[in-house]
Amino acid sequence: MGLLLVLVFVTACKGQPTPTPAHASPSLTVTGSNTAGGPLATGTKQATAVVLPTMTLTSEPLAASVNGEGITLADFKAELARYQAAPKASGVTPLSAQDQQTLVLNDMVDNLLLAQAAVKAGHLVTDQDVQTQIAQLVTQLGSKQALSDWENQHSYTDAGFRQSLVQSIQVAWQRDQILSKVPETADQVHVRQILVYNETDAEIILQKLQSGADFATLAVRYDPVNGGDLDWFPQGFLTIPEVDQAAFSLQPGKISGIIKSKVGYHIIQVIARDPQHPLTPQTRAFLQKQALQKWLENARAQSKVETYLNP
């Protein structure tokens, strides 16, 4: 259960950046594709599939259960230990012990929801699939002994490691299905802005614009590098929701009033709007991350998730 691997997702759009798990260590890699190297379509079954057993509710102490399928306390503690042992990015404030537990358990629940959805969709993981992944890991590490040492170092039994691979393959496949549904175009606006840090300056600028001053010329004064150009973006992409909302309420060529936000006072101009403008890789990755988060929220709302850890 809950193998902490870096998952490489096979998306419908090759080369697009894709969201990664909340925590990803140790740094072994598995893929979500079938043994032929390509993603399986929803509902596809292999004719000679030998499905490996999945974990069900047992008499062992549980950390959580998801739709009747248990996450054992032992598996949770092992996963938490792996997370705590993983290298952390420098400059990042360490999480409290409680926050670490919450992060790891939530990630395990999310992975189980994804794996269950893959099974429901008919995606079966075979012994051959697992052997293929193990062979790839052996190649990655250099030898079977190196893989065995890695398992021991991260407190995996052979059976536990294989079960973790099964779930990782299921999770990667289901994520592929979600991410690939994000289109390559979207309703987007092209916007430039003038940003100042006090209201009086904003009022003076707005008066000049209303008197006929050229927006682009004024924008360069306050942003000599980019001229206030925010480029194309879909709704919900900006980190300043007030500006995002205003941008999609204006017609092309129109200028907003003063928009107050946590960073200052904005005046924006919508240069153009295109209902099917191509997404950049960065923007599509953002929308894919949103799609995955929404899928998980809906899956949790429709599932019976119980946790048993003491606060």
Residue 127 has pLDDT above 50, yes or no: yes
Q: Are residues 107 and 21 in contact, defined by beta-carbon separation less than 8 angstroms? A: yes
How far are the Cα atoms of 68, 239, 269, 286 from residue 189, in angstroms, in the given order?
Answer: 46, 15, 10, 16
**CATH fold label, 186-278:** Chitinase A; domain 3 (3.10.50)
Give the integer Cα–Cα distance in Å for 74 and 128. Answer: 28
Residue 214 has pLDDT above 60, yes or no: yes
Domain extent listing, the chain: 6-182+286-307, 186-278
Task: Output the pLDDT for position 30.
Answer: 54
Confidence of residue 305 (pLDDT cuts 50, 70, 90): very high
Task: Output the pLDDT for position 94.
Answer: 87
In the predicted model, what is the mean pLDDT of residues 61-90? 93
Give the integer Cα–Cα distance in Å for 251 and 235. Answer: 14
Instruction: Give the pLDDT confidence of 15-30 residue by residue, as tens digits.
Output: 443 333 344 334 454 5
Instruction: Give the pLDDT confidence of 178-190 residue by residue, as tens digits.
Output: 999 999 999 999 9
Q: Indicate the class that CATH gives domain 6-182+286-307.
A: mainly alpha
Domain pair 6-182+286-307 / 186-278, same fold: no
Using N-to-C axis directions, what is the helix angle for 158-180 and 281-301, rounded to 10°?
Answer: 110
In the predicted model, what is the mean pLDDT of residues 79-95? 88
pTM of the model: 0.77
Task: Output the pLDDT for position 259.
Answer: 98
In the predicted model, what is the mean pLDDT of residues 153-178? 94
Residue 105 has pLDDT above 70, yes or no: yes
Sign for the CA dihedral angle at 116, 118, 121, 125 comes to negative
Instruction: Give the pLDDT confidence of 226-265 residue by residue, as tens digits.
Output: 999 999 999 999 999 999 999 999 999 999 999 999 999 9
Least confident of 25-29, 31-35, 274-278: 31-35
pLDDT mean across residues, the chain: 85
